Amino acid sequence: MSLFRLGEKPYPTQILQKKLYELLLQGKRIDGRGLLQHRPVKVELNVVEKAEGSAMVTVGKTRVVAGVKYDLGSPYPDTPDKGNLTVNAELLPLASRTFEPGPPDENAIELSRFVDRCIRESQALRLDQLVYVPGQRVGVVYVDVYVLDFDGDYFAPAVLAATAALASSRVQRYEVQGGVVTKVEGEKVPLPLVKLPTAAMVGILRDKIIVDPTALEEPALDASVVIGWGTDEELAAIQKDSPGLIPESIMDEIIEISRSVTINLRRTLKELLRDVWNPGLVRSQEEQASRA
Amino acid sequence: MERAVLIREDGTRVDGRRPDELRPFRMEVGVLENADGSAYIEMGKTKIYAAVYGPKEAHPRHMAQPHRAILQCRYHMATFSVSERKAPGMTRREHELSKVIREALESVLFLEEYPRSMIEVFVEVIQADAGTRTAGLTAASLALADAGIPMADLVAGVAVGKVAGRLVLDLSEEEDKNCEADLPVGMAPSINSIVLLQLNGRLTKDEFSEAMRMARKGIEVLYDHQKKALQRRFAAYGEVAE
């Protein structure tokens, strides 16, 4: 292609690009991984006792903590028969010398909106089951994600942390009698989470595709895209999150790669959550409700 | 809540379109007096102006890059562009869309040819009826061309949605509100590349592939009209031989 100097990076990055590509040709990455090999993933649950649910996720040297809080509130006027979900994410100044304190910038906004879409659009959280008095009192689920340490891709770890925190949450139980909502002291219930959304970051350098790039690799990539799946078969969210061209011809391959990466992440999560998360229970509650 | 019938029995859509049919659209280049480049687009009831200023001195100066121009982009919706008045400031959604539109344009701009300078792109939605980010991108690309800024290709965008289980091109607002998935796509068709890609909603892998093919077809139609709109603009100066 005669795209002279299109997307040309600063000179040091060009040297890095050349080196990375030479390695990719040999099937290797600069940290010794294979092209489609994810860094080790560690998920710790309940790291914050005062939160309804929480998770610390470490992917390589990227670290993200997510916490869930639950409250009563009024539904949005256009969804009187649904609870509310509010997702916020912050790129803490602790995490990188390039992150600055202050109100969320466009990168933090993009991250929160992506995590939101993975949970909301996959319909993982049954917001319709968080209604106490339709149009009046509903449950409000707050998911807050903080990036603590940055070594490339915070999207996939953030989705993983948010999902793990939601799946392990135990929230205050409320009773409704004659339109009055009251706390049931000392009783906590899980949130109606029926799916485990996970996401994968895919990077492109010339004709090579890699997953889970590090902070060193990220600036050298031609393009990157983060892809969230609600289940093994269903996409939930996509975000091309940086400038650059993605050849149309490799898009299907990118989707398939992201599918297998997210299936593995979901399997790991399911195993970890086996004692605390039971989607079958949510469905039986639903059946009870329909019978009542 | 009652659900509107969005796909009729004969397979046509609520506004009578076929699944792979764009809304009626119109593009015009050079519509603003002061901007270095400008364009106007209508896609159905969506109406958007785009303006480009630059390349010019980078401001604030610490933002200047020694090896290339910086590109700034603001996607903004007028308060009256939607049914319920929108607050005048920038919402989180507008911040996100400004970023994805900027990055889509940056993918085809030869910014390395203008070190230490800045190019500004303003996208103003005066009426929103779905598809504003993609129509905004299409208009912004025309405005950049109008400003004479070199690009590897024009870019155009369109959304594909899944409505009542069917994939449809170029969602209207009515369809957008009740859709299962919304896939906005921006492409540089002559270099077969994707420049903008987002998804909100549930799609299988096969549906995604099919949706991308539909987007490509729609984008090709828009791309032809972009070129025609530019030819009309420059024919006035006798610079284009038919």
**Model-level pTM greater than 0.80?**
yes
Q: How far apart are CA A180 and CA B41, in angstroms?
A: 52
Q: What is the tens place of the pLDDT at every residue in B140-149?
A: 999 999 999 9
Number of CB pairs, chain A paired with chain B, less than 8 A apart:
121
pLDDT of B98 higher than 50: yes
- Chain A 209-248, CB below 8 Å of chain B: which residues? 223, 225, 230, 233-248
pLDDT at A6: 81
Asked if B212's CB is within 8 angstroms of A4's CB, the reply is no
Q: Mean of the per-residue pLDDT values for chain A?
A: 94
With beta carbons under 8 A apart, name residues in chain B contacting A240. 100, 103-104, 194-198
* A7 confidence band (pLDDT: 50, 70, 90): confident
Which residue from A minimizes the CA distance to B71? Answer: A243
With contacts defined as CB-CB under 8 Å, which chain B residues touch A91? none
Residue of A nearest to B211 (CA): A252
Contact A256 B205 (CB under 8 A): yes
Give the integer Cα–Cα distance in Å for A33 and A214: 11
- pLDDT at site A285: 61
Indicate yes or no: CB of B200 within 8 angstroms of CB of A122.
Answer: no
Predicted confidence at residue A2, as pLDDT, reads 43
pLDDT digits (tens, 9 = 90+) for A149-175: 999 999 999 999 999 999 999 999 999
Residues A241 and A225: their CA atoms lie apart, in Å, by 6
**What is the C-alpha end-to-end distance of chain B, expressed in Å?**
54
Check residue B239 and give its pLDDT: 57
Whether A253 and A236 have beta carbons less than 8 Å apart is answered as: no
d(CA A119, CA B230): 42
| pLDDT single digits (tens) A168-198 | 999 999 999 998 999 999 999 999 999 999 9
Residues B103, A240 contacting (CB under 8 angstroms): yes
Query: Which percentage of chain A shows pLDDT scores above 90?
Result: 90
**Taking an 8 Å Cβ-Cβ cutoff, which residues of chain B contact chain A?**
1, 66-68, 92-93, 95-96, 98-100, 102-104, 106-108, 110, 112-113, 152, 181, 183, 187-188, 191-205, 208-209, 212, 216
Cβ contact A267:A177 at 8 Å? no
> What distances in angstroms separate CA B21 from CA A220, B36, B181, one per listed residue?
39, 33, 17
A-chain residues near B110 (CB < 8 A): 4-6
Residue A259 touches partner B, C-beta closer than 8 Å:
yes
d(CA B15, CA B8): 10
What is the SS3 assignment for B86? coil
Q: Which of B65, B198, B213, B216 to mutate to test the interface with A (most CBs of A within 10 A)?
A: B198
Which chain B positions have a beta carbon within 8 Å of A4's beta carbon? 110
B111 near B69, Cβ under 8 Å?
A: yes
Residue listed under structure tokens 């890609």 = B197
Residue A10 pLDDT: 86
Contact assignment for B99 to A106 by CB distance below 8 Å: yes
Q: Work out the mean pLDDT of chain B and round it to a whole number.
A: 95
pLDDT of residue B154: 98
- Average pLDDT (B210-232) is 98
Phi-psi region of A73 (alpha: psi -120 to 50; beta: other; left: phi over 0): beta
pLDDT, tens digit, 9 for 90 and up, residues B169-185: 999 999 999 999 999 99
Q: Cβ of B194 and A236 within 8 Å?
A: no
Cα dist from B38 to A120, B99, B120, B144, B233, whole Å: 37, 20, 12, 7, 11
Q: What is the Cα gyration radius of chain B? A: 18
Concatenated DSSP letters of B190-236? GGTEEEEEEEEEEE-HHHHHHHHHHHHHHHHHHHHHHHHHHHHHHHT
At A280 the pLDDT is 80
ipTM of this model? 0.94
Cβ contact, residue pair B203, A234, below 8 Å = yes
In chain A, residues with a C-beta closer than 8 Å to the C-beta of B93 are 113
- CB distance A218 to A224 below 8 Å: yes
Q: What would the mean pLDDT of B204-210 be, rounded to a whole number?
A: 98
In the predicted model, is pLDDT for residue B3 greater than 70?
no
Helices (H), A106-250: 106-121, 155-167
Min Cα–Cα distance to chain A from B108, Å? 7
Task: Give CA–CA dist A174/A177, Å, rounded.
Answer: 10
How far apart CA A99 and CA A76 sit, in angstroms, is 33
Q: Which residue has the tokens 């009652």?
A: B2
- With vertex at residue A196, the alpha carbon angle to CA A273 and CA A44, rounded to the nearest 5 degrees, is 40
Burial-class residue B127 by CB neighbours within 10 Å (0-12, 13-18, 19+).
Answer: middle
pLDDT at A282 exceeding the cut of 90: no
Contact A116, A85 (CB under 8 A): yes
